[in-house]
Structure 1
Amino acid sequence: MTSPSVVERPSAWLEIEGAVGVLRLGRPPLNVLDRAAQSALRSAAEEAAADERVRAVVLYGGPRAFSAGADIKEMAAMTHADMVRHAAVLQGAFDAVAAIPKPMVAAVNGAALGGGCELALTADARICGSEAVLGLPEVLLGVIPGAGGTQRLPRLIGPARAKELIFTGRQVGADEALRLGLVDQVVPPGEVLEAALRWARRFEEGPALALRAAKAAIDGGLATDLGAGLAIERSVFAALFATEDRLTGMRQFAAEGPGHATFSGR
C-alpha cells in the first residue's frame, strides 16, 4: 500500500490573519536562507504586496529563531562567477520584502544573524524577544554583508555604529540592540508575535493610500539627497489629493475636530 504523499510547505509563505499578512519563515531550526528559501521569500513578499486584503505585514521566523542567515555550506561551494550571478538574486529577494508598500514589522526571536539580521532591517520596525541576538558576522568569514546590510544598517543607526558592528562582526543582545536603535521594542520571548501583531493591527482600518504614500516618500527620500527627497514628498503629497481617502479624512476632521477625528475610510 502506497503511503499518502506529504505536501511540504515552502521555506517562506504568507498567512493572512484578518487584515494582517504574516510572512513566515519555515526552515527549522534556524531558518537558514538558502537559494530555495530566497526564492520562496521573494514570492511571499510579492504576494503580500499585491493582496489588497493585507493592510500590514509581520515578518516572523518562529519561536526559536528568526534566521541564522545564509546557507554557508551552499555559499562555500560557489565560485566567484557563481556569486556574480547569484548576488542580484540574493539582493532581489530582500529588496522585494523591503518594497512591500505597507507598514511592516519584524518579530524577532532567537538569532537574527547575517542574512537574518539583514532581513529584519527590511522592515519598518523591529520587535524582539529579550533573548534575541542580532549581528552581521560576515567579515569573520572573509566577506561582507551582501543582502543590504552595509546600506540599511548605517541608515538606521548611523554610519559609525554600523561600521563598528560590521567591521568587528560583533553580535549584540536585545537590550544593546534597543540602545543602538537597531530594534524598537523588547518583550519577553513568548510575547514577540503577539506584540508584532498588535503593532500591525493598528493599521487595519487606517488610510491605506496615505500609509503607502508615507512609506514611499520616506524610503525614496532616504535613497537620495534632501532636495530630491523633498521633490518626492511634494509629488506624492499632491497625488493623494486625487483620492477618496483624502476626501474622507478631511471631511471627518472638519466634522469632528482635531481631538476626535479618526479615519474610517477603506
Structure 2
Amino acid sequence: MVKSKKQTLLEKLGTIVGEKSKIGKLISGYRKLEEANYISSHFSAYLAPVVASSKELKNDVFTIRHEVYCEELGFEPIKESGLEFDEFDSFSLHCLIQHHKSKHFAGTVRMVRPTKPDEQLPIEKYCLNSITRKDLDPSQFDRKDICEISRLAVPKEFRRRVMDKFAGAGVAVINEHTYSEKEVRCFPFIAVGLYLSAAALAIEEDIKHAYVMMEPRLARSMKFIGIKFEQVGPVVEYHGKRAPYYINKSLLQKSLRPGFAKMLADILAALERQEF
C-alpha cells in the first residue's frame, strides 16, 4: 500500500512517543484499522464470492482441490478425472472466490452441513478423539445446527514458486507479474475471504456451531483480523500438525475488526443475491 502523508506522519509520531505509550498504542491501532479498511474495500473491488450451485461450478471446485490436495500437496491420490471429491461433498455447500478481471477462480472452500442422523462431519469421522472440550463436541448439538469448514484451497495461478538458492525449498508468494500492484495487495487475504465466505454461508443457513481442523499458526494469524477460533483439543497429526477449533456467530462478530466486519457484510450481501 502506498503510504500517504498522514500515514508517514503517524509513523514518525509513533516513533517519537514510543509504541508502548498510550498515544503510541492509539496510533498503532489506528494504522491497523486503516489498513484493514483498505484491504476490505479492495477485496471487493477485485474479488467476489461465488456459490458453486451448478455442476459446472462444482467441477471448478473439485479441479482446484485436485490441483492443490492431490497434485501439489499429495494429501490425496491422483484421480484420472482430475477432480477431487469425497463422501462429504454430497451434503456440503461450496464457495469460490472469483477474480473480476480474468474471471478465474482464486480459491475455494466448503461448508460441510449434515442434516441426517447418519451424516457426519469430517472431524467426527477422522479426528473425533482430538476434541477434548466435551461441552463443544458436535454430538452435543442437533445435526442441522453444526457445520465444518474444510478443503480450503488456493490455486497456483495466484501464487508462484520461488526456490531458495540454498535448500531448494519452495516458498509460495503472490504472482505479481500477472496482476496489478493494487490487486496483489489483496491476494494475501484470499484465505481470509474464503473463511469469511464460509462464515457468511453459515449465517445465511442459520447454523449455530462451526468446526475446522487447522494449523495453530493459521489460527494465530486469523486473530490479527479478529477471527478468534476457540481451540477445543490438542494438536494432532492430520495432514500435518493440526488442532480442532470451534467458532460461532457470537464469537465471530464480537471480535471481528471493523474493516473485516465490513468485508464480511459485503460478502454476505453478495451471497444473498445468489441462489443456493
The TM-score by the shorter chain falls in which range?
under 0.3
RCO higher in structure (CA 8 A, sep ≥6): 2
Instruction: Name the TM-score, length of structure 1 as normaliser.
Output: 0.23
Q: Which has the higher strand share?
A: 2
Instruction: Name the TM-score, length of structure 2 as normaliser.
Output: 0.23
